[in-house]
Chains A and B, each alone.
Chain A
């Protein structure tokens, strides 16, 4: 089956600890994304990567870090610098970069989401 997997499904962390959330995709997608979801709010972009070995900050990158050493993997580390880390974290991927191709919006912009990881800080 092709898809996006995230692990673990539930994660508990003590204050002051760093934790790493896993995201793997076997869709052969170039672009990958991390979002944070809080109750009653839309998804907010943390980091995104358009290609291997490259990534950019999203709207709420402070307190988070990522790496993109392999095309299929985009792990997110929640550091102790993140003041309010309790949330539902969603990973997504799309076939191509999030942008225009030849002046036209390509179909590559369809984003597919993983099942999410719920992080709770104790």
Chain B
């Protein structure tokens, strides 16, 4: 079936370093790719998204890049801070199982150490 693979599953960085999380997707027709941040015991919060008509999008310290040919997209966090510590999920919007839906990656636990 259709799926989204996310790597790494855990990521540990020093405060001020950059963090990169990568996702690959299976359906070449996918055209919407959101990223969510989930803090402990809370629901996921949308932090940035990208559509297939652009290759890169930035919002302050966060950027997302998309390579449709290779079917992968990445989240880049620069100048990381301890409050960036959370689980990050990528997702791809695709037609699967008879309907349109978001398929989520398994998540990346990011730890930013002071």
Contacts and interface: CB of A to CB of B under 8 A. Distances in A.
Contacts of A90: 43-44
B4 interface: yes
A42 B89 contact: yes
Nearest to A39: B107
Given A42-B107, A58-B101, A105-B31, A113 B51 contact: no
A41 B42 CA distance: 16
A97 to B, nearest CB: 8
B114 interface: no
A109 B36 CA distance: 14
B32 to A, nearest CB: 5
A9 to B, nearest CB: 8
A56 B99 CA distance: 10
Contacts of B104: 42-44
Interface residues of B, number: 28
A32 to B, nearest CB: 13
A110 B34 contact: yes
Contacts of B105: 42
Given A45-B101, A58-B101, A105-B93, A40 B9 contact: yes
B100 interface: yes
A112 B45 CA distance: 7
Interface residues of A, number: 27
A99 B95 CA distance: 9
A75 interface: no
A41 B100 contact: no
A109 B93 contact: yes
B42 A116 contact: yes
B102 A111 contact: yes
Contacts of A115: 41-43
A118 to B, nearest CB: 8
A110 B46 contact: yes
A113 B106 contact: no
Contact of A59 (B41, B97, B100): B97
A116 B51 contact: no
B101 A113 contact: no
12 contacts: A42-B4, A42-B89, A42-B104, A42-B107, A43-B89, A43-B104, A44-B104, A90-B44, A98-B93, A98-B99, A100-B100, A113-B36
